[in-house]
Amino acid sequence: MAKISVKRSAQSQNDRIAQQNRRLFRKSGLFVMNIIGSPGCGKTSILEYTARHCEGRFAVIVGDVKTALDADRILSLDITAVPIETGGGCHLSAQMIKDVLPKLDLDSLDFLFIENVGNLVCPSTFDIGEDVKVGVLSVPEGDEKVRKYPALFLRTEVVFINKIDLLPHCPYDIARVRQDCRKARASVKVFEVSAKDGTGFEPWLEFLRQHRQRC
């Protein structure tokens, strides 16, 4: 029996394709965000609000285990939306993104939003070529999510706390969540919003304006 040294990460193939995607995005001057959160936290609702108010040109890739329902919601706003049905898969991989890129005219866009499968665990460790990971929390889920799912929040540059209109009805220590987010990543931008009534979105839209100018 002979031993052969390998020392390669299980993620090495995914990482290689993610880097190819990233090079393509950079070439087109695109700012790409990987949106990650639990099922029902409001990822699509945040994108719908953004679609109505963002000045930049953007498209959305929407990952779902089954159906293209979320992609249809974005399409109904006249925004290009490409669905990826993972058929049971718990996260989007760099290869899945690469496979749908021919459906998009990258040079005509400022932003690409990639809505990952609703899951706080698996998507956090798969690079898909994004510039930033965006974590989405929501008030009814409880205020311990950052501590319970550090794999995501140690990697997120942007965090939304959505459904703040429900704060009067839910025991939720928003200061603690904010503090946990900063503990996990000191430079994180936290946006406290209600996608239902539009509260709190101006700083997010300003964030997008700044990144559009940089691209």
Partner 1 sequence: MHELSLSDSLVRVALETPGVREGNLRALNVHVGALSSASASALSFCLALVLEQRGLKDVKVNLVEAPARARCRCGHDYSPKRLWDGCPKCGGFDRETTDGQDVTLDSVEVEDGED
**Nearest one of 33, 38, 47, 90 to 66, comparing CA atoms:** 90
Which one, 52 or 147, has the nearer CB to partner 1? 147
From the list 31-39, 40-48, 149-157, 191-199, the region that binds partner 1 by CB under 8 A is: 149-157
Which one, 175 or 186, has the nearer CB to partner 1? 186
**Least Å from the CB of residue 4 to partner 1:** 5
Which one, 2 or 175, has the nearer CB to partner 1? 2
**Least Å from the CB of residue 184 to partner 1:** 5
Which one, 75 or 100, has the nearer CB to partner 1? 100
- Alpha-carbon distance of 138 to 98, in angstroms, equals 30
Q: Which pair of structure tokens corresponds to residue 181?
A: 């987010």
Sign of the Cα pseudo-torsion (95, 100, 102, 108, in order): negative
Of the candidate residues 55, 186, 213, 214, the single one contacting partner 1 (CB under 8 A): 186
* 5 makes contact with partner 1 (CB under 8 A): yes
* 10 makes contact with partner 1 (CB under 8 A): yes
From the list 32-40, 165-173, 181-189, 206-214, the region that binds partner 1 by CB under 8 A is: 181-189
Of the candidate residues 59, 150, 173, 195, the single one contacting partner 1 (CB under 8 A): 150
- Alpha-carbon distance of 101 to 124, in angstroms, equals 21
Residue type, 198: G
Q: Could you give the strand order of the β-sheet that contains 80-85, starting from the edge strand earlier in sequence?
A: 80-85, 58-64, 111-115, 31-37, 132-138, 158-162, 189-192
Instruction: Give the three-class secondary structure for 83.
Output: strand
Contact of 211 with 175, CB cutoff 8 Å: no
**Least Å from the CB of residue 186 to partner 1:** 5
- Binding positions for partner 1, 72-91, rule CB under 8 A: 89-91
